[in-house]
Amino acid sequence: MTARLAQICRHPIKGHGRENLASVRLLAGQCLPWDRHWAVAHDAAKLVEGWNRCANFARGAKAPALMAITSTFDEALGVVTLRHPERGTIAFRPDDTADLPRFLDWVRPLNPADRAQPAAIVTAGRGMTDDPAETLSILSTASLADLSAKMGTPLSVNRWRGNLWLEGAAPWAEFDWVGKRLAIGGATLEVTARITRCSATTVDPETGRVSAPTLAALQENYGHQDFGVYAMVVESGPIAVGDEWRLA
């Protein structure tokens, strides 16, 4: 199989939707543009200036129904459109405080009533990723196929909320890339760490309901709960679906 970039995905609001892109320009030292640019703080959040840990935000690990949201982002207008099979569609400007009540009314039913409730949309001027460094995530279709085979069920790429999906690697070879550089299209990235997963991956991204014991399967079959790797952009450049990749 040709070593190629199979999918580019961004999540403008952390934990609230996913959007596939045909191409994007990566910038050195920065996350995927507009990925996790906003996050939804809950009413028990203890926020600090800048980047904050995921425990401060509404997310699929605590509110599984959020995993079924899809999104599109109009960069020119600053408008995010969210869609959910049970909540319909809403379009709003995350930076406009006047739009906040409407968004909260739309999203509140997707959060368990006995947990902290969504209260505000925040931004740090960078991606509010789970990694305090400005990284993006790289995942392998071969590793996903191997895990799916072990579990006896096809697993959607959308369970993992990754940024870049690569074809053409051996299953789990990405773990050997930590500390190495990867050239994709016109950009170069350095792989920094493995990604340890949370219970959000157990949720069916079509329905927002828990459907597969991914964490238990990872532990039982491989002795860990890791899937995918973090990488930092070290040389800016454009990337597009179908681009070839190689270890640099």
Fold of 4-30+131-247: M1 Pyruvate Kinase; Domain 3 (2.40.33)
The three-state DSSP-derived secondary structure of 158-174 is HHCCCCEEEECCCCCHH
Q: Token pair of 199, please?
A: 């219970």
d(CA 137, CA 192): 10
pLDDT tens, position by position, 140-169: 999 999 999 999 999 999 999 999 999 999
- Which pLDDT score, from 0 to 100, does residue 162 have? 97
- Residue 11 scores a pLDDT above 80: yes
Confidence class of residue 220 from pLDDT cuts 50, 70 and 90?
very high
Quick check: 209 and 200 in contact, CB under 8 A?
Answer: no
- Which pLDDT score, from 0 to 100, does residue 178 have? 98
| 66, 54, 179, 217 alpha-carbon torsion, rounded to 10° | -50
- Which pLDDT score, from 0 to 100, does residue 215 have? 98
DSSP character string of 15-67: TS--EEESEEEE-TTSPSTTTT-EEEEETT----SS---GGGB--TTT-GGGG
pLDDT tens, position by position, 102-120: 999 999 999 999 999 999 9
pLDDT tens, position by position, 185-210: 999 999 999 999 999 999 999 999 99
Confidence class of residue 126 from pLDDT cuts 50, 70 and 90?
very high
pLDDT tens, position by position, 12-41: 999 999 999 999 999 999 999 999 999 999
DSSP character string of 81-103: EEEETTTEEEEE-TT-GGGHHHH
Tally Cβ neighbours within 10 Å of residue 223: 8
Domain ranges of the chain: 4-30+131-247, 38-123
d(CA 123, CA 132): 14
- Residue 1 scores a pLDDT above 80: no
Give which of 189, 185, 144 is closest to 165, Cα–Cα: 144
Confidence class of residue 136 from pLDDT cuts 50, 70 and 90?
very high
Q: In what order do the strands lie in the sheet with 70-74?
A: 70-74, 79-84, 88-92
Q: What are phi and psi of 173, to 5 degrees?
A: -65, -25
- Which pLDDT score, from 0 to 100, does residue 187 have? 98
> What's the pTM?
0.96
- Which pLDDT score, from 0 to 100, does residue 107 have? 98
d(CA 240, CA 246): 14
pLDDT tens, position by position, 48-101: 999 999 999 999 999 999 999 999 999 999 999 999 999 999 999 999 999 999
